[in-house]
Amino acid sequence: MKKNMNILLAGVGGQGTILTSKILSNGFLQQGYDVKMAEIHGMAQRGGSVTTQIRVGDQIFSPVIEKGQADIIVAFEKSEALRWLDYLKPDGILIVNDYMIEPFTVSLGISPYPYTFLNEYSQKIKHLHVFNAFKTAQDLGNAKSMNVVLLGAIVKYLQLDMIDWPSVIQDQLPEKHVAINMKAFHAGYQQ
């Protein structure tokens, strides 16, 4: 693994970004790294933008990532990629879940949804990976495990194979959710 690594997860309240970051950060901790994780959730329970940020390395001070310093950004909702793009490193990885949650500002005509932005950015972003993790999770039988499908993709693209993720997942999830999320993890990894 690189010396210090910055991971930024962006999504919409209720999408499970927090669980993904919890599994990731515990995996790093077990491997002996220093880890810090910051989350900001908006005012309402649901519907607002949320982000969690993980920083990992030998010694970490700030829990928050600076602009232009994320090694990877994972957009759990398509357009959230745009909100955080200026945090991505020039050679950083962008994973986009090809899944839209249109805010009511779009239906009310207050704010346009950038439906086609991926076409425009596909040239500019070297390491762009787009797939529909919602559909992958749904096909496995539980749409809610979408966040763990995305975890699988993160592990793959950041090459974090030195950590035993299945055992971390086992530790962090209640028994009854483990089996489905194991499948979700592998499906995401094979993406």
* Residues at the interface with other proteins (CB under 8 A): 12-13, 22, 25-26, 29, 34-40, 42-49, 60-64, 66-68, 79-83, 85-90, 102-108, 110-114, 117, 120-121, 124-125, 143
Pair of tokens at residue 116: 């086609």
Q: What's the closest the beta carbon of residue 157 comes to other proteins, in angstroms?
A: 18
Pair of tokens at residue 186: 């592998």
Q: Which is nearer to other proteins, 172 or 186 (CB)?
A: 172
Rg (CA), the chain: 16
Q: What's the closest the beta carbon of residue 120 comes to other proteins, in angstroms?
A: 7
Q: Which is nearer to other proteins, 114 or 190 (CB)?
A: 114
Contact yes or no for 67/92 (Cβ under 8 A): no
Q: Which is nearer to other proteins, 78 or 183 (CB)?
A: 78
Q: What's the closest the beta carbon of residue 155 comes to other proteins, in angstroms?
A: 18
Query: Across the strands, what pairs with 7?
Result: 54, 72
CA 114 to chain centre: 20
Q: Which one-letter DSSP state was computed for residue 1?
A: -
Q: Angle at the Cα of 189 (from 121 to 134), degrees rounded to 5?
A: 65
Q: What's the closest the beta carbon of residue 190 comes to other proteins, in angstroms?
A: 26
Q: What's the closest the beta carbon of residue 95 comes to other proteins, in angstroms?
A: 15
3-state secondary structure (DSSP) of residue 60: coil
For residues 62 and 28, give the distance between their C-alpha atoms in angstroms, rounded to a whole number: 17
Q: Which is nearer to other proteins, 143 or 163 (CB)?
A: 143
Q: Which is nearer to other proteins, 113 or 189 (CB)?
A: 113
